[in-house]
Structure 1
């Protein structure tokens, strides 16, 4: 029996589909509470969140929750493995670009981008000081962090893991705004089919589909969270080299692999670094993953895994170049 739950949390649409012979009516409430706890802890838009408190204490050694320490440790790992392309020290740049409030509250014109006189210096991952024994963290003085690039997939992964481990749900899907974790197949012999909307619009029957029994799919785009600024259209993907919204050629990227956090981070990195530079970085450091990229010129590319660990099939790839 399949049960579906739909609600909004963390400023995005959440979909959870569970297949189990048992009826567990409390699961919906527990799932919603899990997303709500993450929002209360990690939102930069809530003044009382743990993240906001940590940003106010920049430059000081702070004792943090296990959840915060886990997310910060993972962030440090991804900053290193992506060679700095993924970076959490971008909050000031997001605010300067106009993204200074929850996205649905942004006005049509969302402020000016940073000028040359207001340039924000890049911050490297080594500046995040973590102590796993003391459960403490320290970010540099006068620097603030944003965890929006990882915490949605972290939350979805935590909930999916709990459903499998503690509730023994044999088949499931957790979709947090395009960050999708699946397990067990849609049925014992039937894979999950995750549709990928074309960035420039195609009928649903012509869109690409990732088919897998277990694993993850995540999509990032420079065309969705956009607003009008003084220098034209802005988006939320900040290039750590310039501390400004990326101007790379890739407008949308979907990454599939065994781990949802890997997929979300690399989908963002490929949008940030573009086709040539991003693909080289991806192939070098993420051999277990596959990526479907769309460029601003309308072309599409599929990067195959060189060391595949996932049973994955793509459909609807008409006109897609494979590399």
Structure 2
């Protein structure tokens, strides 16, 4: 390649006039601003949509599963208490059984609408409905077998009800426990930071840092070649870029910490035996999710900050191009 051709290529690819330096920096500002804004807004929105999604579906699904298990176990305890106390011949399984059995039916109905495992979850709940009906039928048959002459048949019906309830792998409680484990695993996946989310934040932060470097280089060009010691637009843009790097990361970190706390509280609720721990865990989950709402509402302000940073930076450069080189 001849020296003349090399000079021509260098002039086209790396123009040395101040005007073209500013134009290259303006292009970089616009491109980096678009990339950084898109990655930042998408990443921020993804983190702060999770609490509302959990409150709408996952939290209620966990609570309904726990309510079904507790009501079912209490109903079963009422049945055995009535049998041991000899009340089967007079009052059947008792009013307490009827109340708890009705509560279990309602919780299972809610769980059918709220479970978060898709088609697999719906199939499990359908099986639980069938098994719960079988359990209730066995208890009803035991209640109708009154008198000493039917004692063996009654005991057989109660054993059948216990088998439906606790049979390994295929009973109500083992199937429900499996559904609860799957739901908690799904919630864990939702509250964890995925590889795609990490990549999104990395792109956003990297683009913002490069944008800050470009803004500094713009200021140096204006200072060195244009004699401009200060540019209000670039100064405001630099401040906004610094805020955009720090504030969304801090808010996302805080929200992620709270999501981890929500998952931990839901695990405690799922394993709770008494109503007190269930209520305490539910209150913790509700309050923790509510505390993330302020950060979620900040998304429009974040978008405005991204737009303002790009407008200030591009506006400052365009003004210098117009004021100093508008007649070129």
TM-score normalised per structure 1: 0.23
Kindly name which structure, 1 or 2, has the bigger radius of gyration based on alpha carbons.
2
TM-score normalised per structure 2: 0.23
Which is strand-richer, 1 or 2?
1
Which is helix-richer, 1 or 2?
2
